[in-house]
Structure 1
Amino acid sequence: MRWRTIETFRHGDRTMLVHRPPHESDTGPHFVLVHGIGVSALYHARLARALAPSGSVHVVDLPGFGQAPRPGRPLGIEDHAGVLNAYVRTAGLPHPHLVGHSMGTQVVVEAALQEPDLYAGVVAIGGVVDPEARSAARQALRLAHDVLREPPTTNWTVLSGYARTGLRWYLRTLPVMLDYRTEEALPRLRVPLLVVRGDRDPIATGPWAAHMGRLAGTRVVEIEGAAHVAMHTHPDQVASAVLEHARAVAGQCPA
């Protein structure tokens, strides 16, 4: 997809890129989409297109990923969240909804923990890290299983992102993801959360997603037929869940 605009946002010595899809609605909520480890805004393009008729969409390349310049060292989850919060404040976004995938779920949860008054809602798609698989070897095994469950176009999008990131940067970032305790963060979250997973996702397993839901006191939506990268393979279904959550948060339908 051709982005309508690509904005450069600098926060200290850190640079984040923000992609805007064409044909956004001038009314409705704001959505900020955050990618996972090793990838970029590109694999959120289909979800961005599906959300755009209902609101404004801001799809980020976190510092060091996609087309965003690399900082001197991989940033921690807390640092990524700080950059994201600074962008939301600077751009003047009125209570946007954060939508994160994989490692991006950690970033959006942490961002909402740091500055809960900034946000209306949070959506965690394919959340990590399952405490039962908190090692590089177990994550690699689950990722290999997921590759077998994704269609070729999705694997191409993800693996080309990994190639752009490079193995060294990926491996330097991996401990950041593994060290963040999502299960300790969720009970402290004050912003309404929705957990989304593909029902064939071997990374965000059913038991782990259910545990995330219990920790945050929220519900889990499963996307039928989807694996880990649900928003790429099933963008309309994921967009529907995101929009339903936004309406519930706004009090327009039962939570």
Structure 2
Amino acid sequence: MSLNHVRRGSGEPLVLVHGIGSQWRIWEPVLDALARDFDVLAIDLPGFGHSPHDGTGPSVEDQAVRVVRFFEEAGIELPHVAGNSMGGAIALELARMGAVRSATAVSPAGFWTPRERRFCQESLQLSRKLLAGIAPVLPALLRSPAGRTALLRQLVWRPWLMDGEAALDHMDLLTKAPAFDACCAAFADYTFHDAEQLSGVPVTIAWGDYDLLLLTRQRERARRVLPGARHVPLPGCGHAPFSDDPELLASVLRSGAHSAA
């Protein structure tokens, strides 16, 4: 069974991969802009969004292998790929495998210290428990700009700009994602490594100035580890920055793919 996904536009294929607990709709603020230049496929990873858990392992590497299988299911070869957070790490692993034409990673996981990784894991687990615990009042909170700001600031720097119904859908699917716990635990075994193996693929790393989950200082570590990549700061943006500044993000993703030319 193929992964749940949406497909828009025409041109060279560009596959979008979300982060842990998220879904394809996290990319919605930039989809139409990207679809003017690309055949865009935004996917739900197995066990997230509306994709069933299909037995894919929880590691970043296992998920990268599953995404390659999705390429075959969708009838595309050597697409461009962009990913956010865990999806950013998957994008870099796809580049390592030589399975993509270019890779753009937005706040990718894997450039952490052990302490920063534990902070990420514990923050995500706590947020999920909190959201599940306040489920009866969650719709009212997330439909309010003030409520979105209180609940989502660690992930989105300008939560009041998010669509309330989209935010509610995101948080509802986060609390229900069957793959969440195993994927979060698997972070303990993942750190980005062997940068030279990506040398044949154009790589862009973009990081928000206000990332409160994979802390912004990690982008300097990524710059040292991947000196041959294109490194782009995202002013005024948080960890999942697509609603923070859709125009900027669409431009970064577009230029990341065009760098393969």
The residue that corresponds to 2:159 in the other structure is 151
The residue that corresponds to 1:203 in the other structure is 213
Write out per-residue CA displacement over residues 104-158 of structure 1, whole angstroms, 9 at most, x where no aligned residue.
01111122222x0x32100000111422501156751898762583313549545
- 1:245 correspondence with 2:228: no
Q: Distance in 2 between matches of 1:83 and 1:215?
A: 26
The residue that corresponds to 2:197 in the other structure is 188
The residue that corresponds to 1:5 in the other structure is none
> SS of 1:16's equivalent?
coil
- Structure 1 residues 26-45: aligned runs within 5 Å: 26-27=10-11, 29-45=12-28
Unaligned runs of 5+ in 2: 128-151
Write out per-residue CA displacement over residues 63-120 of structure 1, whole angstroms, 9 at most, x where no aligned residue.
1110111235763222211111112234332431110001101111122222x0x321
> SS of 1:166's equivalent?
helix
Q: What is the identity, as a one-letter code, of the residue corresponding to 1:150? A: R
Distance 1:80 1:72, change over 3 A: closer
Contact kept in structure 1, 2:47 and 2:177, CA below 8 Å: no
Q: Distance in 2 between matches of 1:39 and 1:119?
A: 22
Choose from 126, 138, 161 the match for 2:107: 126
Q: Identity, % of aligned pairs?
A: 25
Q: Distance in 2 between matches of 1:94 and 1:71?
A: 23
The residue that corresponds to 1:253 in the other structure is none
Runs of 4+ in structure 1 off by over 6 angstroms are 141-144
The residue that corresponds to 1:19 in the other structure is 6
> SS of 2:41's equivalent?
strand
> SS of 2:259's equivalent?
helix
Unaligned runs of 5+ in 1: 1-9, 251-255
> SS of 2:48's equivalent?
coil
Q: Which moved more, 1:92-101 or 1:140-149?
A: 140-149
Choose from 139, 158, 170 the match for 1:161: 170
Q: How many residue pairs align between the two structures? A: 230
Give the drift of 1:245. Answer: 2.4
Give the drift of 1:159. Answer: 6.1
Q: Distance in 1 between matches of 2:254 and 2:74?
A: 22
CA-based RMSD: 2.7
Q: Distance in 1 between matches of 2:208 and 2:167?
A: 16
The residue that corresponds to 1:85 in the other structure is 68
TM-score norm. by structure 2 comes to 0.77
Q: Distance in 1 between matches of 2:68 and 2:156?
A: 36
**Larger relative CO (CA 8 A, sep 6+): 1 or 2?**
2
> SS of 1:205's equivalent?
coil
- 1:51 correspondence with 2:34: yes
The residue that corresponds to 1:4 in the other structure is none
Write out per-residue CA displacement over residues 10-43 of structure 1, whole angstroms, 9 at most, x where no aligned residue.
2xxxx5112113xx1x33x221000000010011
> SS of 2:243's equivalent?
helix
Q: What is the identity, as a one-letter code, of the residue corresponding to 1:166? A: T
Q: What is the identity, as a one-letter code, of the residue corresponding to 2:60? A: I
Q: Distance in 1 between matches of 2:67 and 2:120?
A: 30
TM-score norm. by structure 1 comes to 0.78
Q: What is the identity, as a one-letter code, of the residue corresponding to 1:60? A: I
Choose from 95, 105, 114 the match for 2:78: 95
Q: What is the identity, as a one-letter code, of the residue corresponding to 1:234? A: D
> SS of 1:230's equivalent?
coil
Contact kept in structure 1, 2:58 and 2:182, CA below 8 Å: no
Q: Distance in 1 between matches of 2:62 and 2:121?
A: 26
